[in-house]
Structure 1
Amino acid sequence: MTIQVAAFRWVPPFAQGFVRDLRIRWALEEAGWPYEIELIDFERAKSADYRGWQPFGQVPAYRDSHVEMFESGAILLHLAERSDALAPTDAAGRARTTTWVIAALNSIEPFTQRFIEMDNAPGTAWPEDYRARTEGLLESRLGGLSAWLEGKGYLEGRFTVADIVMSTVLREMEAHGLAARFPVLEDYRARCTGRPAFQRSLEAQLATFRENEPA
Structure 2
Amino acid sequence: MIPTITTFGWVPEFARGFVRDLRPRWAFEEVGQCYRVDLISDSKSPEHRRLQPFGQVPTYRDDEVAIFESGAIVLRIAERAGKLIPVATAPRMRALQWLAAALSSVEPYVMALAVNDIFEADREWSKARHAKVVDDLKTRLTDLEAALGDNVWLDGDEFTVGDLMMVSVLGELRGSAELAYFTRLAAYIGRGESRPAFTKAIADHMATFEAPAAS
- TM-score for both structures, normalised by structure 1: 0.92
After superposing the two structures, state which structure 1 stretch, 46-55 or 177-186, moved more: 46-55
Q: In structure 1, how many angstroms separate the alpha carbons of the residues matched to 2:115 and 2:36?
A: 33
Q: 1:93 to 1:171 in 2, by over 3 A?
A: same
Secondary structure at 1:147's aligned position in 2?
A: helix
Secondary structure at 1:54's aligned position in 2?
A: coil
Partner residue in 1 for 2:106: 108
Partner residue in 2 for 1:190: 190
Secondary structure at 2:38's aligned position in 1?
A: strand
Secondary structure at 2:37's aligned position in 1?
A: strand
Partner residue in 2 for 1:73: 71
Letter in 2 for 1:9: G
Count residues with an aligned counterpart.
213
Superimposed CA distance per residue, residues 147-186 of structure 1 (whole angstroms, 9 cap, x where no aligned partner)? 1112111111211111121112111112321011000000
Q: Where in structure 2 are there 5+ consecutive unaligned residues?
A: none
Note if 1:132 corresponds to 2:117.
no
Q: In structure 2, how many angstroms separate the alpha carbons of the residues matched to 1:176 and 1:124?
A: 21
Secondary structure at 2:125's aligned position in 1?
A: coil
1:126 Cα deviation from its structure 2 partner? 2.2
Letter in 2 for 1:146: E
Any conservation in 1 of the 2:31–2:78 contact (CA below 8 Å)?
A: no
Q: In structure 2, how many angstroms separate the alpha carbons of the residues matched to 1:171 and 1:164?
A: 10
Q: In structure 2, how many angstroms separate the alpha carbons of the residues matched to 1:137 and 1:113?
A: 12
Partner residue in 2 for 1:19: 19
Q: In structure 2, how many angstroms separate the alpha carbons of the residues matched to 1:64 and 1:108?
A: 29
2:88 alignment partner, one of 68, 87, 90: 90
Q: In structure 1, how many angstroms separate the alpha carbons of the residues matched to 2:209 and 2:112?
A: 27
Partner residue in 1 for 2:152: 153
- TM-score for both structures, normalised by structure 2: 0.92
Q: Where in structure 1 are there 5+ consecutive unaligned residues?
A: none
Any conservation in 1 of the 2:121–2:127 contact (CA below 8 Å)?
A: no
Secondary structure at 2:5's aligned position in 1?
A: strand
Any conservation in 2 of the 1:16–1:206 contact (CA below 8 Å)?
A: yes
Q: 1:151 to 1:36 in 2, by over 3 A?
A: same
1:4 Cα deviation from its structure 2 partner? 0.5
Q: CA RMSD in A?
A: 1.9
Any conservation in 2 of the 1:116–1:176 contact (CA below 8 Å)?
A: no
